[in-house]
Structure 1
Amino acid sequence: MYTGTYRIAERIIAIESLYPDVHAYWDAYRWEGEPELTLCTTPADIALEREKSASEDRRLGVAPRAFPDAYLEELALYRQLAERMPAYDTMLMHGSAVAVDGEAYLFTAKSGTGKSTHTRLWRELLGSRAVMVNDDKPMLRLTDTGVLVCGTPYNGKHRLGENLSVPLKAVCILSRGAENTICPITAREGYPVLLQQVYRPANARALEQTLGLVDRLLGQVKLYRLSCTPELQAAQVAYNGMKG
C-alpha cells in the first residue's frame, strides 16, 4: 500500500493506492495536514476501469487496449475524486482555464473544438500575464462570495496547469467559426452545455448536489459564447469581450 496526502480545491485528501505511480502524478499537490477525505483503490476498482475502457473500445469498433494496472488505478482515483467533491461544494468540469491578472476564464466545449488551442493563443497574446490553471479538468469550488477555479493533476496530455485557486470571472462556450465574435448568453442558453461538460456522478446524492452546483454557477458567473478561428485575433476578441 502506498500513501500520500494532497490538497486540491482547498480540501486535504489522503490517497491509499496499490501502485506508486499516482503519487508521482499528484506530486505538485502534496500537503501536510489531517485529511478531510480518503481515496483508496482495490483490485476490483482496477478491473472495473479495464472493463469500461474495453467497452468504449468495442463501441468504437477497435480492439480493446491493454493498459497497465497503475494507469487504470489513476483513472479509478480520478473517478473517486470527482464523485466525492460535490459534497464539498466542488465539481469537476471539462474545460481549459486560464488566469489573467488574478482572474480566471474557463473555456468549455465538446472535445476537439479547440479549447487548448484557444488558451494557447491567450498565452501568446498576453505573455506572462496569462497563467494556465488547468488545460483539461479543473475543479470549480462554489462559495458564498464567488466561484474559484482550482487546478488538479488531471490537466491534459501536455500537463498544462498549476496548483492554483483563482476567482472565476467568466465561462465561455467555444465553437469554431469563420469569424471571431463573442456575445453574452443567458443561463438558460448556457445550461445544456455546462450540464454536458460537468462530471455527472453515478451516485444519486452526488448527482443531485452537482445539479445544484450548476444552478449556483449559472447565478454567480457571467456566460459568453465565442465563435472563433485558430488565430491570435480570436484571443484578443475574447479577452476584450469578457474582461469588462
Structure 2
Amino acid sequence: MFKGKYKFADRIVEVDSIYEEVHNYCRDYYSDEVPDFSISTSQEDIDFEYQRELRCAAAEGREPIAATDEYREELAVYRKIAERMPDYDTVLFHGSAIAVDGQCFLFTAKSGTGKSTHTRLWREYFGDKAVMVNDDKPLVRITNGGAVAYGTPYNGKHRLGCNISVPLKAVCILARGSENKITRVTKSEAYSMLIQQVYRPQSPVQLAKTLRLIDELAAGTDLYRLECNMDIKAAEVAYNGMKG
C-alpha cells in the first residue's frame, strides 16, 4: 500500500492506495499538514469504477473506455474525496473553469457540448490574462462571502489546470448555436443542469448536504446561458456578458 497527504480545496486528505500512480497524479497538491480526513481504496472500489464505466457506455451506445486498474483507482480516490467534501461546504463540479483578472468563470453542459473548446477560445482571446483553474472536475466551496473554485489534479485528459483558488464570478450553461448570445438565467431555470453537473454522493446524508449547497450556490452566484459557435467572438461575448 502507498500513502500520501494532499491539499484539496483547503482540506488535507490522507490517501491510502493500492497503486503508487495515484500519488504521482496528485504530487502537485502534496502537503505535510495534519489531515482533515483519510480515505483508502480496495480492489472492490476499482471494480466498481469498471462496472460503472460498462453501464455508462451501454447507456450511451459506445464502447467502454479502455483503462488500467491504476487509472480506475485514481477515479475511485476522487469519488471518495467527493463523498466527504460536502462536510466542508464543498462540491465537485463537472465543468471547465477559467480565470481572468482574478475572477473565475465556470462553464458547464452535457458531455460533448464543447466546454473545453470554449475555454480554449478564452485562452486564445485573452492570452496570458486567462488562467485555467480546472478543465474537467474543479471543486467549488460555498462560503458566506461567495463561492470559490479550486484546481485539482483531476483536470481532464489534457491536464489543463493548476493548484490555485479563485473567487467564482459566474456559472454559465453552454449550448450550441449559430450566433453568440448570452442571457442571465434564474435559479429555477439553471437548477436542473446544476443538479446534473454536481457530483451526487451515494450517502443520503451527504446527498442532502449537497442539495443544500447547490441551493446556496445558485442563490449567491450569477447564472447565465450562452448559445455559442466556435468563433473566437464567443469568448468576447461571454466575458462581456458576465464580467459585471
TM-score by length of 1: 0.96
In structure 2, relative to structure 1, the CA distance for the partners of 1:99 and 1:60 (3 Å cut) is: closer
**2:22 alignment partner, SS class:** helix
Q: 5+ unaligned residues in a row in structure 2: which ranges?
A: none
Matched length: 244
Question: CA offset at residue 31 of structure 1?
Answer: 1.1
Is the counterpart of residue 28 in structure 1 residue 34 in structure 2? no
Measured in 1, the distance between the counterparts of 2:82 and 2:122 equals: 28
Question: What does residue 37 of structure 2 align with?
Answer: 37
Measured in 1, the distance between the counterparts of 2:62 and 2:109 equals: 26
- Which stretch shifts more, 70-79 or 213-222? 70-79
- Which stretch shifts more, 169-178 or 48-57? 48-57
Matches within 5 A, 1:29-178: 29-60=29-60, 67-178=67-178
Q: Percent identity?
A: 55
Which amino acid is 1:216 matched to?
Answer: E
Measured in 2, the distance between the counterparts of 1:182 and 1:2 equals: 47
Question: What does residue 227 of structure 2 align with?
Answer: 227
Question: CA offset at residue 134 of structure 1?
Answer: 0.3
TM-score by length of 2: 0.96
**2:156 alignment partner, SS class:** coil
Measured in 2, the distance between the counterparts of 1:86 and 1:136 equals: 19
Question: CA offset at residue 66 of structure 1?
Answer: 5.8
**1:141 alignment partner, SS class:** strand
Q: 5+ unaligned residues in a row in structure 1: which ranges?
A: none
Superposed CA offset, 1:115-140 (max 9, x none): 11111111111111110000000111
Measured in 1, the distance between the counterparts of 2:61 and 2:228 equals: 33
Matches within 5 A, 1:165-244: 165-244=165-244
Which amino acid is 2:160 matched to?
Answer: L
Question: CA offset at residue 54 of structure 1?
Answer: 2.9
**1:55 alignment partner, SS class:** helix
RMSD: 1.4
Measured in 2, the distance between the counterparts of 1:60 and 1:146 equals: 36
In structure 2, relative to structure 1, the CA distance for the partners of 1:109 and 1:84 (3 Å cut) is: same
Which amino acid is 1:105 matched to?
Answer: F
Which amino acid is 1:23 matched to?
Answer: H
**1:234 alignment partner, SS class:** helix
